[in-house]
A = this chain, B = another copy of it.
Amino acid sequence: MKTTGFYLELFENALRGESFISDPLKLYEPIQYTLSLGGKRLRPVLCLLGCDLYGGSCEKAMPAAIAVEIFHNFTLVHDDIMDNSPIRRGQPTVFKKWNTNIAILSGDVMFAKAYEYVARLDTPDLKPILNVFTDTAIKVCEGQQYDMDYEVFSNVGIDDYLNMIILKTAVLTGASLKIGALMAGASTEQSDLLYTFGLNLGIVFQLQDDLLDVFSDETKFGKKTGSDILAGKKTYLFLKSIELMPPGEREEFYVYYTSSENNADEKIAYVKSVYEQLNIRHHVIQLMHIYHNESLKILEKCTGTPEVIIQLKELAETMLVREI
């Protein structure tokens, strides 16, 4: 039986066969660099799984898998500028290794390259795929803007936060699966179902990401922990803490968390101690299980190949426990 490792290897082989080096080098080297840093390749694997699920050819869906991975990496290159993040996957980010202008422009051309791969798809009807892809790109930008807005807004609720991560993260995991399904000729109903499965999966993924940002082993995670705390990001961990703590303590913690005046190491240590006191990890895991169970329920309506459904279930399980 195939494992997700099978799809990953298929994708890595295909990606290795593509060259992104061309003139002018300063434009293209950052693309090759970014794509060669690896990463989990979650989105292209989902795309290939979505295609295989409905009996499609992974080879035919490969340009779509490459497109979603390039698009995802484009968003990382631009997000790293906006978030001033120096390290990604254990290596300097593009704007740090080169400069901001190069990161802006390389990102732009990556976005265009992603469309180049979408346009290469051998399918009788490209429009639905093009629409999902573009709609997703727009939503991801909206999510990133909300993410930045919420750093300074004072009245962010848990619903706002969840809506933000749906836009910023989950629509792309949903779209990757859906595009794969469409490449296999799946029905609108089935491909929409898979999209919703992917949304729930993406939410679990992001909640785990937020947990890892606070509690992970830095050497495994590939970036410094505590970056959300330092940036005062209003994650579920923070918002739930506010909800759980006695009303009299909320304002002081809120002001402390959102202030940039504190010593970095002290701030991280203090906020972590608050999270631990409130057993916030337990609450995040509880919410992850709600979305996880929802994703499994959706999968029950899926008419695809049973072996691939098992793969999707296993992948959904790993979202709950991944360490990187």
Neighbouring B residues of A141 by C-beta, 8 Å: 27, 105, 108-109, 112
Contact stretch, chosen from A113-121, A188-196, A316-324: A113-121
Neighbouring B residues of A138 by C-beta, 8 Å: 109, 112-113, 116
Contact stretch, chosen from A142-150, A214-222, A244-252: A142-150
Neighbouring B residues of A131 by C-beta, 8 Å: 119
**For residue A128, which residue of chain B has the nearest CB?**
B119
Contact of A111 among B82, B100, B105, B108 (CB under 8 A): B108
Neighbouring B residues of A113 by C-beta, 8 Å: 138
Q: How far is it, in angstroms, between the C-alpha of A70 and the C-alpha of B142 when the chains are bound?
A: 18
Chain A, residues 119-139, CB within 8 Å of chain B (1/0): the string is: 100000011001100110110
Q: How far is it, in angstroms, between the C-alpha of A105 and the C-alpha of B107 when the chains are bound?
A: 11
Q: Give residues of chain A (31-47) contacting chain B, Cβ–Cβ below 8 Å.
A: none
Residues of A bordering B, CB below 8 Å: 23-24, 26-27, 78, 81-82, 100-102, 104-105, 107-109, 111-113, 115-116, 119, 126-127, 130-131, 134-135, 137-138, 141-142, 144-146, 148-149
Contacts A81-B104, A109-B138, A112-B134 known; 14 new A-B pairs at CB < 8 A: A78-B108, A82-B101, A101-B148, A105-B148, A107-B108, A115-B134, A115-B137, A116-B135, A119-B127, A119-B130, A119-B131, A126-B126, A126-B130, A130-B130
